[in-house]
């Protein structure tokens, strides 16, 4: 269970850091619409990443299954 939790947090941290770097510099004036647009983009990136991770786990690669202790755990 510890490997799954740490893997999830590492993926989310790397993805969040990559998104922040890609969006630098942030707009000077942060209006409601600007913040909403940034959050919509961020949630979309997280959704696509989650779907990609699910697709990779669905391939049932032996390396991942051994590391995550089986398909029921992953």
Domain boundaries of the chain, sorted by first residue: 2-67
Whole-prediction pTM value?
A: 0.72
pLDDT digits (tens, 9 = 90+) for 10-39: 989 999 999 999 988 888 888 999 999 999
Output the six-digit token pair for 63: 């390396």
Residue 72: per-residue pLDDT: 63
Residue 61: per-residue pLDDT: 79
Contact assessment for residue 55 and residue 47, using Cβ atoms and an 8 Å cutoff: no
Q: How far is CA 8 from CA 14, 25, 49, 59, 68, in A?
A: 10, 27, 11, 18, 11
CA distance 25 to 9: 25
Q: Greatest CA span in the chain, whole angstroms?
A: 49
């Amino acid at each position: 269970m510890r490997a799954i939790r740490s893997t999830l947090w590492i993926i989310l941290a790397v993805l969040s850091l990559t998104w922040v770097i890609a969006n630098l510099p942030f707009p000077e004036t942060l209006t409601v619409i600007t913040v909403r647009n940034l959050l919509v983009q961020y949630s979309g990136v997280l959704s696509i990443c989650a779907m990609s991770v699910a697709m990779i786990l669905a391939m049932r690669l032996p390396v991942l299954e051994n590391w995550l202790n089986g398909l029921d755990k992953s």
